[in-house]
Amino acid sequence: MKLSSTPDPSYTTPPPNELPYNESEEIYECHERLDEYRHFMTNAQFWLEGVLLLVIGVFGMAGNVMTIIVLRRIDANATFSFNRLLMSLGNYVNTHIKFVIGIDFSMSCMIDGMF
């Protein structure tokens, strides 16, 4: 068998827009049994995205508020310190938690058709 570095002149590749298209080759089949797991998935979604997110978010916000109160008492007379940076971070995180919980609730309401 002789290998050649020159292409065979009898074979030319058509441009990509002229390649033959067969719709039957584009069908994909999922072999997982999603109907069997649908109840588990919706139940897990409720507990993780609904209850757990809310509980952890509330505890996180309460912890940040307590931290801000303690840092504010310690830093009453200082003009600028690391404590003020920590208080700003606590305020930012509380705002972020509020938006995450709000967006999660509003998205779940839109998906469930409450709006």
Residues contacting residue 108 through CB under 8 Å, at least 6 positions apart: 49, 50
Residues 87 and 77: their CA atoms lie apart, in Å, by 15
Question: In this predicted model, which residue has the larger pLDDT, 96 or 43?
Answer: 96
Question: In this predicted model, which residue has the larger pLDDT, 31 or 49?
Answer: 49
Q: What is the mean pLDDT of residues 22-49?
A: 75
Task: Tell me the C-alpha to C-alpha distance, in Å, between residue 30 and each of 8, 24, 40, 64, 69.
Answer: 40, 16, 18, 45, 54
Q: Please tell me the pTM assigned to this model.
A: 0.59
| Residue 75 near residue 81 (C-beta atoms within 8 A) | yes
Closest C-alpha to 58, from 14, 6, 112, 98: 98
